Structure 1
């Protein structure tokens, strides 16, 4: 059954809602018109050491926060479809689709995954995979050490907090052009560590993508 058909059938029983305000919208819509008009498209430039590129769909602000909140707290709703499919279109428009072989979601530690019940970065990665036709390797990279929430730390402590927190399966990464996906990027420390681990385990190139990128003065994930 086609994806669009599935969504329309599901919509009959569980109406699709805007992941920002909660209003009912059409089955294939991402946001209601009012909320979509308030979203700020990310148009900045950001580079991360070791990455071939960085792509973000939106600037992380109060307008998009409710949708991120839904994903982080397991409510889901329409947020993963809305954010993931838009990010996929951005990647396609920037020519990144033709430069990657696999999609790797930023991992959670197993205890955090059990507590939360899902990984929001994997939800986003699956939407990108569906749109671009590129496979997800959910077990290519692992978080082997629990860390404090990045938003609780200053710039220096953020970097130290993630040191040696990740490992990888070289069999899944060797010779691959990798796209690492996360929900939000602030300083890029998480992505930087994942890039290093991916390349140490055989990735030939790494691109990065996030649904949202914070403004320079913002404090978050």
Structure 2
């Protein structure tokens, strides 16, 4: 049984599908023992969808690191009432959390919040797509629209027919406001030394 979970370099696993509970496909699970997970909106209020945060009250999570060591040797720690992960999730009525994306990657199109992670997950399901990255592209009417940069599997030609097939595939699996409006085929996606896609460059 595959049990998805969520954690960071700064923590151990915070959220997961632990043994003994029902697994909901697509979710990260529920908060694990010792992690007081809260979802906070931009104003710092509890929300159904928001940034994944850890309450730092009297019982600071044991799995949360003490802080970052600066160049001068001083250690900076999470300040305030919460440790902020920078990741966005939403919760259902049973407390299961679903990953939406990095807070700095989520963008608006026609006033709808778009998660690149969700669109990329659909793109890589297509039989021709090896990798995908979605970013906002300027649009006169919608302010921005989802644009996908994709690399194709070896042996597949970047033809108009291939791209049309990808458009058609995503249109049957995404709500109209989430639909990818532009696709650009690239040989490979730009990455950092640790392998993360450079969205800012795209």
Please indicate, yes or no, whether the TM-score normalized by the shorter chain is above 0.5: no
Higher Cα Rg, which structure: 2
- TM-score, normalising length from structure 2? 0.28
Q: Which has the higher strand share?
A: 2
Q: Which has the higher helix share?
A: 1
